[in-house]
A = this chain, B = another copy of it.
Amino acid sequence: MTNEQFELDSRLKKDTLHLASWPLCEVLLMNDSQYPWVILVPRRTGLRELFELTEKDQQIYWAESMALSKLLMTVFTGHKLNVAALGNVVSQLHIHHVVRFEGDAAWPGPVWGKVPAKPYASDALSVMQSKLAGLRAIF
């Protein structure tokens, strides 16, 4: 399967900001200033589940997910990381990585569908992008 046909789901495109393109995944910042929330989207067409990735892509995905997880928890020193492949609404395979803090907007519940997103103000977005600049140097 080639990557040429890959197109990001329109809902994901609308809700996120591009941070980096890694070997397998697009690395996207969810435009919700309430949590450091990064989404990995494998550039593969027509996939809905992690097990549909080829074995080689599964290995790359895992390396990318672990690198992202460690970076997020190092940069933000969160209380807990939530890593989840859900896709009930947007079926294109995408995996959430959300740093959680005790007392954050949805704590201790999950972040999905609970509290409306608060888009970043431009200053806060610049700060977040600076904090996440290390993402570009990993792969």
A contacts, CB < 8 Å to B: 48-51, 58, 62, 65-66, 69-70, 73, 80-89, 91, 100, 107-110, 112-113
Contact = CB atoms under 8 A, between A and B. Distances in A.
Contacts of A62: 58, 62
Contacts of A91: 80
Nearest to A53: B66
Nearest to A111: B110
Contact of A49 (B69, B86, B87): B69
Given A50-B66, A80-B91, 4 more contacts: A82-B85, A83-B84, A88-B108, A110-B110
Given A109-B113, A110-B113, A112-B110, A80 B84 contact: no
